[in-house]
């Protein structure tokens, strides 16, 4: 469930305020989305707290700027990016930190820029993990509706069995949000 599909669709629809501008991947991990975005022509910054993940990205594309930081401590430049994403990284933050990061993401994009993120739903098989913070449908919809300067473009809820990177199959419950800055 990486963001490749939605980003490809947005590119084809010319949905970006400044096509092929600056992009930021928060909690990039090994860089699946990061590398795709760079291949699409964006100038990408990738942020993760794991240096081994950032090293793997640099090996695949030396033009990507990698920055070692926890995403809740990373300072996002205001009104700078065309695209900011956070894929499967916000569940590791407290809800208050996640809300702040999401607002910072919106503040970081130019007018017409795109923010894409996902959060884990309350019916996910791993919802009871002590280090995960989950959302229910009403909670995420209410939060998204109250974000200043953002217009909801897409809201998707995914549920079902799917692969994980390390642990095989599991039941996923994920909310995916696409915002456009007003």
What does the pLDDT look like over 67-117, one tens digit per residue?
999 999 999 999 999 999 999 999 999 999 999 999 999 999 999 999 999
**Whether residue 122 has pLDDT greater than 60:** yes
Number of domains in the chain: 1
Question: At 123, is the pLDDT very low, low, confident or very high (cuts 50, 70, 90)?
Answer: very high
pLDDT, the chain, mean: 92
Q: Work out the percent of the chain whose per-residue pLDDT is above 70.
A: 96
pLDDT of residue 172: 96
> Using one digit for the tens of pLDDT, what is the confidence trace for 13-29?
766 666 679 999 999 99
**CATH code at position 127:** 3.40.50.150
The parent domain of residue 129 ranges over 4-181
**Whether residue 131 has pLDDT greater than 90:** no
Q: End-to-end distance of the chain based on CA atoms, in angstroms?
A: 27
**Residue 29: how many other CB atoms lie within 10 Å:** 20
What is the rounded distance in angstroms from the CA atom of residue 24 to the CA atom of residue 154?
19
């Amino acid at each position: 469930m990486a963001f490749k599909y939605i980003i490809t669709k947005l590119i084809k629809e010319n949905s970006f305020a400044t096509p092929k501008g600056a992009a930021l991947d928060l909690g990039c991990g090994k860089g699946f989305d990061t590398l795709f975005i760079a291949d699409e022509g964006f100038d990408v910054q990738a942020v993760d707290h794991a240096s081994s993940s950032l090293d793997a990205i640099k090996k695949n594309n030396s033009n990507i700027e990698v920055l070692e930081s926890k995403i809740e401590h990373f300072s996002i430049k205001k009104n700078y990016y065309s695209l900011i994403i956070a894929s499967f990284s916000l569940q590791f933050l407290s809800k208050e930190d996640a809300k702040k990061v999401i607002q910072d993401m919106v503040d970081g994009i130019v007018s017409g820029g795109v923010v894409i993120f996902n959060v884990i739903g309350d019916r996910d098989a791993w919802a009871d993990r002590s280090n995960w913070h989950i959302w229910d449908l009403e909670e995420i919809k209410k939060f998204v509706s109250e974000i200043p300067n953002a217009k909801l473009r897409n809201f998707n809820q995914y549920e079902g069995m799917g692969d994980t990177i390390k642990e095989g199959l599991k039941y996923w419950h994920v909310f995916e949000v696409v915002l456009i800055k007003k």
